[in-house]
């Protein structure tokens, strides 16, 4: 199966990196390979190190690179371990870093791991294609976590105002029966919230699914760690492009950039986030919530 993912803010992200001949780039979130592919086409002498913790991402996208004279290597790794990957590659500093956060369309629609509330799938929500026995899954979260912990993550990571109702409903349901599938969880959420909230423009399960996925993958912790290590790996003059899709991610990126700018360690290439133009939003509705922030190391 080939990748069906549409890369968001593609040209803006790459142009923002201001790449030169023989630059070295880390694509921290390879996904469908969109950013790496465009870099290969425009800068054939650039070296790319591509990371993704989903091994399947490489298998689906590598076909796109077979006819290109492109120096690209792949690492099946979380971007919080950039330093580990660079050590294995024997690399010191790099010229550019890309983070394209959140789920790819392939993970949402084809992974079979329960990311989408629109498909009846086992509750996993892990970004890893083959999780280890000790890895936390959504199945563990909804069936074993205490009610307060559930309410805290659903409110904190999902910004869901009905978090306490939903957490209580999850705990009440599992007393009678194990929660096993995405549709089990959707039904619990639907029954837990007042009827008026079931007909909003945003699907009533969106925020809860987002919250559980973030908790399962420690996405915010990984982002903070990845930004720190990524910046440390940048050469002077090197740039970092980060695309975020929800407020919690963007807040972390914004604060991280602001702190570095205030300490005169970096400058903001764009003071306000770059957002998708109307034409891109029309062709790819997912781009509507995307925000791109670019930083240059001093």
pLDDT tens digit string along 196-247?
Answer: 887 777 899 999 999 999 999 999 999 999 999 999 999 999 999 999 999 9
pLDDT tens digits for range 15-42: 999 999 899 999 999 988 999 999 999 9
CA atoms within 13 A on the CB side of 68: 21
What pairing do the DSSP bridges indicate for beta strands 234-244 and 291-297?
A: antiparallel
Those residues whose C-beta lies under 8 Å from the C-beta of residue 90, and which sit 6 or more positions away, are none
Pairing between β-strand 24-27 and β-strand 94-100 as defined by DSSP bridges = parallel
pLDDT at residue 110, as a whole number: 65
Q: Tell me the domains of the chain and their CATH numbers.
A: 10-106+219-297 (3.40.50.150), 113-217 (1.10.150.170)
- Number of other CB atoms surrounding residue 37 within 10 Å: 22
pTM over 0.75: yes
- pLDDT single digits (tens) 79-111: 999 999 999 999 989 999 999 997 766 666 666
Position 256 scores a pLDDT of 98
Give the contacts of 215 (CB within 8 A, at least 6 positions apart).
Answer: 136, 141, 153, 157
Sorted by sequence, the CB contacts under 8 Å of residue 114 that are 6+ apart come out as: 121, 122, 123, 124, 125, 138, 181, 182
């Amino acid at each position: 199966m080939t990748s069906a993912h549409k890369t968001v803010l593609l040209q803006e992200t790459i142009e923002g990196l201001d790449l030169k001949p023989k630059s070295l780039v880390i694509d921290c979130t390879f996904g469908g390979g969109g950013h790496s592919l465009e870099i290969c086409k425009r800068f054939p002498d650039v070296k790319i190190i591509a990371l993704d913790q989903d091994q399947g991402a490489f298998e689906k996208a590598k076909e796109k690179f077979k006819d290109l004279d492109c120096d690209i290597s792949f690492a099946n790794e979380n971007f919080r371990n950039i330093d580990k990957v660079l050590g294995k590659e024997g690399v010191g500093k790099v010229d550019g870093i890309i983070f394209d956060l959140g789920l790819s369309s392939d993970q949402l629609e084809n992974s079979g791991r329960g990311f989408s509330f629109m498909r009846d799938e086992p509750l996993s929500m892990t970004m890893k294609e083959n999780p280890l026995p000790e890895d936390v899954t959504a199945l563990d979260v909804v069936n074993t976590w205490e009610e307060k912990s559930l309410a805290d993550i659903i409110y904190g990571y999902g910004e869901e105002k009905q978090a306490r109702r939903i957490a209580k409903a999850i705990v009440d349901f599992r007393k009678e029966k194990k929660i096993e599938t995405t549709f089990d969880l959707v039904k619990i959420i639907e029954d837990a919230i007042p009827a008026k909230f079931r007909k909003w423009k945003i699907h009533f399960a969106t925020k809860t699914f987002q919250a559980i996925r973030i908790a399962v993958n420690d996405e915010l912790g990984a982002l903070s760690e990845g930004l720190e290590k990524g910046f440390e790996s940048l050469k002077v003059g090197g740039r970092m492009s980060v695309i975020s899709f929800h407020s919690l991610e963007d807040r972390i990126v914004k604060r991280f950039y602001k702190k570095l700018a205030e300490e005169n360690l970096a400058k903001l290439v764009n003071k306000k986030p770059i957002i998708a133009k109307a034409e891109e939003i029309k062709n790819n509705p997912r781009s509507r919530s995307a925000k791109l922030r670019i930083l240059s190391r001093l």
